[in-house]
Amino acid sequence: AQSVTQLDSHVSVSEGTPVLLRCNYSSSYSPSLFWYVQHPNKGLQLLLKYTSAATLVKGINGFEAEFKKSETSFHLTKPSAHMSDAAEYFCVVSDQGGYNKLIFGAGTRLAVHP
Amino acid sequence: SQTIHQWPATLVQPVGSPLSLECTVEGTSNPNLYWYRQAAGRGLQLLFYSVGIGQISSEVPQNLSASRPQDRQFILSSKKLLLSDSGFYLCAWSVGSGTYEQYFGPGTRLTVT
């Protein structure tokens, strides 16, 4: 069975400093992995996706993530945080059961301080 | 381009009242459609998904039901709301049957009083 664990429920950074949101996954096959972002009272927006092509994936708003099979990790990074990055971030793995079903992590709330 | 709409945006309903939330998708054909609930401070729970008109799969037994009367319309309903039905309801769509991403609507905030 597939699962995803987000290692931090809250992360706090200062504006202009790097962001690291950690995610480990478990899958019995080669998964597709995604990061979504949710601003308060909004829907989820796809940041980036990994689908077995390049292991370093670039997304929107300067975010990127690296797929490391040996570590079963898919951490999200950004070189310099902006105040508008404050939101909830979800690491997601594809469900082997098909129909594009997704399995969500519990989320990491990112706070950005001036 | 594709867009997804949900309404209403917010809803306050008393316990025991009925519920109907609507989701429509534009710009694509034969999408897979999904209903999720997000309780306060918690992750997303998949409630229902549909791969075609009249085809509904339930993920969690509960007080809710779903219907898909048209290709791009997905409705979430309840005959009698419970306090525990409060939450943020999200509709999403995808295409294909592999491991592709989903695209989410703006959500409906439901408060049951």
From first to last of its 114 residues, what are the pLDDT tens digits of chain A? 789 999 999 999 999 999 999 999 998 888 899 999 999 989 999 999 998 778 899 999 999 999 999 999 999 999 999 999 999 999 999 887 778 889 999 999 999 999
pLDDT of residue A75: 98
CB-based contact (8 Å) between B44 and chain A? yes
Indicate whether B112 pLDDT > 90. Answer: yes
Is B31 within 8 Å of chain A by CB?
A: no
Tell which phi-psi region holds residue B63, choosing left (phi > 0), alpha (psi between -120 and 50) or beta. alpha
Phi and psi, residue B85, nearest 5°: -80, -10
C-beta atoms of B101 and A49 within 8 A: yes
Contact A101 B51 (CB under 8 A): no
Q: What angle do CA A103, B41, A18 make, to 5 degrees?
A: 75
Q: CB of A49 within 8 Å of any CB in chain B?
A: yes
- Tokens representing B23 are 């989701």
CB B70 within 8 A of CB B100: no
Distance CA B88, CA A36 (A): 16
Identify the residue whose tokens are 């799969």: B57
Across the interface, whether the CB atoms of A100 and B106 are under 8 A apart is answered no
Highest mean pLDDT among A28-42, B15-29, B88-102: B15-29
pLDDT of residue B18: 97
pLDDT-derived band at B61 (thresholds 50, 70, 90) equals low
Name the residue facing B104 among A43, A94, A101 (closest C-beta): A43
Tokens representing A79 are: 């070189």
The average confidence (pLDDT) of chain B is 92
Question: Which residues in chain A are closer than 8 Å to B105, comparing Cβ atoms?
Answer: 43
The residue-averaged pLDDT of B88-112 equals 90
Q: What is the mean pLDDT of residues B2-21?
A: 96
Output b/e per residue, A33-54; b: 16+ Cβ within 10 A: bbbbbbeeebbbebbbbbbeee
State how far the Cα of B7 lies from the Cα of A52, in Å rounded to an integer. 36
Q: Average pLDDT in the B19-33 region?
A: 95
Chain A residues with CB under 8 Å of B109 CB are 41
DSSP string, chain A: --EEEES-SEEEEETTS-EEE-EEEE-SS---EEEEEE-TTS-EEEEEEE-SS-SEEE-GGG-EEEEETTTTEEEEEESS--GGG-EEEEEEEE-TTSTT-EEE---EEEEEE-
pLDDT of B99 reads: 63
A70: Cβ–Cβ under 8 A, 6 or more apart, which residues? none
Separation in Å, CA of B56 to nearest CA in chain A = 12
Q: Is B99–A94 a contact, with Cβ atoms under 8 angstroms apart? A: yes
